[in-house]
Copies of this chain bind each other. A is one copy, B any other.
Amino acid sequence: MSENLTEQTLVEFLDALSSSAPAPGGGSVSALAGALGAALVSMVCNLTLGKKKYADVQQDITDLVERSEALRGELTGLLQADVEAYMGVSIAYRMPKDTDEQKSARSAAIQEALKKATVVPMQIAEACCRVLDLCTPAAEKGNVYAVSDAGVAALMAEAALRSAALNVIININAIKDQDFADQMRAKLNGLLENKSELKDQIYDLVIEKL
C-alpha cells in the first residue's frame, strides 16, 4: 500500500474502512480519533489566543497548542504506520511453508511483524494519553465559548486510547516471546489506569461550564 491514507477524502476513507479489505481497520480509526481529539484541543487554543478576555493565559495556551499540534502530527503519521505494520503481518503469513527451513523463517518473520504491529498501537495509545492530558487545561483555561470542543476532544482521546489498547492486546496474544508480551501488557495497563475517570472528570467540568 503505497498511497497514504491521510490523503484520502473522508468518504473514501469510510468506504475503504467498511470494505472487507484487511486495512484500514480499528487501528487506523484509533489513530484518527486521537488526531481528531488533538485537533480539537488546537481549535480551543486558536479560539483563545489573542483574545483580551484571556490575556492571563496566553503563554499557557501557546505552550498547549504547540503540544497538541505535535501530537496531531504524530497521530496522523501513526495512522499510516499502523496500516503498514498490519500489512507486514499479512505478508509474513503468506510466506512459503513447504520445507522446515521455510517454516522456521516464516514463523520468525511473523513474530517479528507481530512485535512491530504491537509497538505501533502502543505508540498510538501513548499519544492518546498525552492528548487526554491536554484536555483538562483546554477546558479550564480555554475560551469558554469552545468548552464543549474540549469535552469532545476528551471523549475522542479516551475512546481512541481504548481502541488502540484492543489492537495491542490482539497482537500480544499471538506473540510467543513471553518477556516482550508481559512487558507490553504491563505498559498498556499503566497507560489505561485512571483514564476513564479522567475523561469523566473533564466531561463533568465541561457540563458545568456550558
In the complex, the chain B residue whose C-beta lies closest to that of A158 is B159
A30: B residues at CB distance < 8 A:
152
Q: Compute how far the CA of A47 lies from the CA of B29 in the bound complex, rounded to whole angstroms.
A: 17
Range of interface residues on chain A?
Answer: 35 or more
Q: Do B18 and A42 touch across chains, with their CB atoms under 8 A apart?
A: yes
Asked whether any CB of chain B lies closer than 8 Å to the CB of A76, the reply is yes
Counted per complex, copies of this chain come to 2
Given contacts A26-B148, A169-B210, contact A32 B10 (CB under 8 A): yes
Bound-state CA distance A162–B39 (Å) is 18
Q: Shortest distance in angstroms between A39's beta carbon and chain B's nearest beta carbon?
A: 4
**Which of A1-9, A109-117, A176-184 makes up part of the contact surface?**
A1-9
Q: Is A11 an interface residue (CB 8 A)?
A: yes
From A5, A33, A69, residue with most partner B Cβ within 10 Å: A33
**In the complex where A17-B36, A39-B17, A210-B170 touch, is A156 in contact with B29 (Cβ < 8 A)?**
yes
Interface residues of A (CB under 8 A from B): 5-11, 13-15, 17-20, 25-26, 29-30, 32-33, 35-36, 38-40, 42-43, 46-47, 49, 68-69, 72, 76, 79, 146, 148-149, 151-153, 155-156, 158-159, 162-163, 166-167, 169-170, 173, 203, 206-207, 210
